[in-house]
Amino acid sequence: MNELEERHYKNFEQIKSTNESDQDFWHARDLQIILEYAEWRNFCKVIEKAKTVCVKSGFAVNDHFVEFNKMVDLGSRSQRQIEDVKLSRYACYLIVQNGDPSKPVIANGQTYFAIQTRRQELSDNEAFRNLGEDEQRLFLRNEMKAHNKLLVETASVAGVKTNLDFAVFQNHGYKGLYGGLDAQAIHQRKELKKSQKILDHMGSTELAANLFRATQTEEKLKRDKVSGKKNANQTHFEVGAKVRDTIKELGGIMPEDLQKPDRSIKQLVNKQQKKLVGKEENKK
């Protein structure tokens, strides 16, 4: 993470507040300053766009954007009442997604709030939390398959056309996330055979990091209307690298250092199928 990105991340953390339910939120007035909007009226336009997206996504605006008034000091012992908005993590995510893309702080905000939102989604998903490690791996692996298909389609629009093109494209994502290691190097590190798939030999934590890499690359390719193989490859690398930086910021273990599970996804699927067959036979 470069110095500018690190400063932005720290700023987003510093203005974060926590309510009585231990939920994080941000004040729009504070976010306005960090996102470098000089005038409140201009920032309000971005907030309104974010609200529209929130509604279209099927969420209640009032759950994520809470308007209120507060008093501010003007000097000379005088005060004035101004409007403000309490923003959920998801609201902040929508705001930076609809902000001025030419600002580096907006780009860094997109990564910061996207990662935070995804982590919270998984944390809030009670069904997912209650799954064991093997079940979480199966769930995330299936998610990865679905999103890899979408990533292939989106990358194809950007100019990644052939199987070789996509292999190179995927390697750029791996190199960003794994500190320079490509698919072959990851294979060697995990001591896998050539025919074995890397994703089938990852634990839930590693799969989650790769799933986030895939989903955010897909979104960024679309959002920035990336064109050309070279630019698509660079985008994939940059997203992977930012996910890696965030893992480091949070004190997590680097993906290449995570322990390889004892059983592959294929073995877990076979185990599940045997259980189902056993249940069916017991019913007879």
Average pLDDT across the chain, whole number: 86
Residues (pLDDT < 50) of the chain are none
Tell me the CA distances in angstroms from 233 to 104, 254, 255, one per residue in order: 20, 22, 20
Identity at 110, one-letter amino acid code: Q
Contacts of 182 (CB under 8 A, 6+ apart): 171, 174, 175
**Chain-centre distance of CA 261, in angstroms?**
24
* β 65-75/16-18 pair status: unpaired
Domain boundary assignment for the chain: 1-103, 125-266
- Name the one residue in this structure whose structure tokens are 């902040």: 92
- pLDDT attached to residue 128: 63
- pLDDT attached to residue 253: 94
Number of neighbours of residue 200 by Cβ within 10 angstroms:
19
Verdict on whether the full-model pTM lies above 0.75: no
Structure tokens at 189: 């590190």
Contact 227, 158 (CB under 8 A): yes
Nearest Cα to Cα of residue 111 among 176, 183, 41: 176
